[in-house]
Structure 1
């Protein structure tokens, strides 16, 4: 059997993120996760939020690793992972109750982020809550030297990636009918943005 993929970052940030998700995702609903990566977050959050059905998604190449984590977790509220690239013209759903994504926006180009919000405008149910975790710039400035160094590293891997400006994210969200509900400071110079879809 293949070894499960592993992310130390997921282990480091899962508890602080969970503390916020407990407040945000209170009603029983299905939460879609964009960019589930290894699948560690999906399993941890599903275990600690048993009233939630967790829908992991990622590009097809990552689904086998997610399945390994889910098989070991054995949780009834973990739905089988789905193949999804945010630029796909049609997503594998009819609607989305709530959405979570961690450490994905800085991997995407700004054009891809714009496409993601355009799709969310179509698929998100009214009053749906979105939680976006990761590093963001504010007023055109890095929030720490480590984030500045991380941004250089990201751009060396892919010139179109990089830490996004919070103001750009809010503008794209606003065009999709979503407004900022909360902006939480998180460990390691990260943030967690909570957005709400409102028609």
Structure 2
């Protein structure tokens, strides 16, 4: 049996995400993907942006196997083999510099410590460059009514694990500020998801 996993949402959201990435990613360099999951996004974006080098990572052995299976069939040369990386762990990341960091659908399906680690290490990896930390997913926002589907999703996540749940975008802004970063853009995407850009 193949190690490849499939996430149906990938086919639905990859084009809208790619449109934002085309605006926010640099012309060249390494894009570090945190919590790359099945690996489907990594291969799609590596193919879409051939001048960039894609480095997928994930904390799950099953996800790493899936990413590797897709990567083995990827015809390009700009997507590296996946690396083990748990954003919640305090250890130094296996990638010490990158031109941009992408994190899709992790913040709400992980303990808050993973988001804290994401911002802490992203600030180190991006350094003083103009590189962006790019987040995608559903978030709560002050002054913007949360869609019923997102409220239901938040409740289901917390029922599965009390440490999970949709995060307040403003809490992410405060966390970014602690690491000398600030939100530079917000994009509304389909299915009540948004992309937040921090630099």
| TM category, shorter | over 0.9
- CA RMSD, 1 decimal: 1.4
TM-score by length of 2: 0.93
Matched, 1:133 2:163: no
In structure 2, the gaps of 5 or more residues are: none
SS of the residue 1:56 aligns to? strand
Higher strand share: 1
TM-score by length of 1: 0.93
Partner of 2:12: 12
In structure 1, distance between residues paired with 2:115 and 2:88: 9
Instruction: Show the 5 A alignment for 1:1-199.
Output: 1-61=1-61, 62-88=63-89, 89-126=91-128, 127-139=130-142, 143-196=146-199
Deviates more, 1:41-50 or 1:111-120: 111-120
Give runs of ≥4 in structure 1 deviating > 4 Å: none
SS of the residue 1:45 aligns to? helix
Q: What per-residue deviation string (whole Å, max 9, x for no partner) do you get for residues 120-168 of structure 1?
A: 2222222211110000101186520000000011011110100000000
SS of the residue 2:134 aligns to? strand
Count of residues paired in the alignment:
196
* Residues 39 and 56, structure 1, Cα contact 8 Å, conserved in 2: yes
Deviates more, 1:104-113 or 1:147-156: 104-113
